[in-house]
Amino acid sequence: MNVKSQCMKILEEAGIDPKSEIDFEVNKEKHSLSLKYILDTYMLASEESKLVFLTALKKSVHEDTLGIDKFFEGMGQLLLMTHLSQKFEI
């Protein structure tokens, strides 16, 4: 089973719909990212990065303090920060 399938299975077992969205506010603008979009985007990375993502997701399932929701919230924030930082020249 590939990494993406394993991630989707984790969401399914947790009863979480991959189409669920997380809302972020950046400079008073609302941005929504679905869990599927976040997952698909990270699955474009190297095999090593995909395995890191999977390992962190598995850990979030078993962590009382993090949880899957917080995991995807954090990963979504990273995607947004990366996207927004590419708009600005440093």
Query: For residue 25, how far is the Cα from the chain centroid?
Result: 16
CA angle at residue 51 from 67 to 46, to 5 degrees?
Answer: 125
4 contacts 43 by C-beta, under 8 angstroms? yes
Reading the block at residue 64, the tokens are 């009382």
Give the per-residue pLDDT at 84.
Answer: 65
Query: For every one of its 90 residues, what pLDDT tens digit does the chain have, with 9 covering 90 and above?
Result: 899 999 999 999 989 999 999 999 877 889 899 999 999 999 999 999 999 999 999 999 887 656 888 999 999 999 888 876 665 554
Reported pTM: 0.85
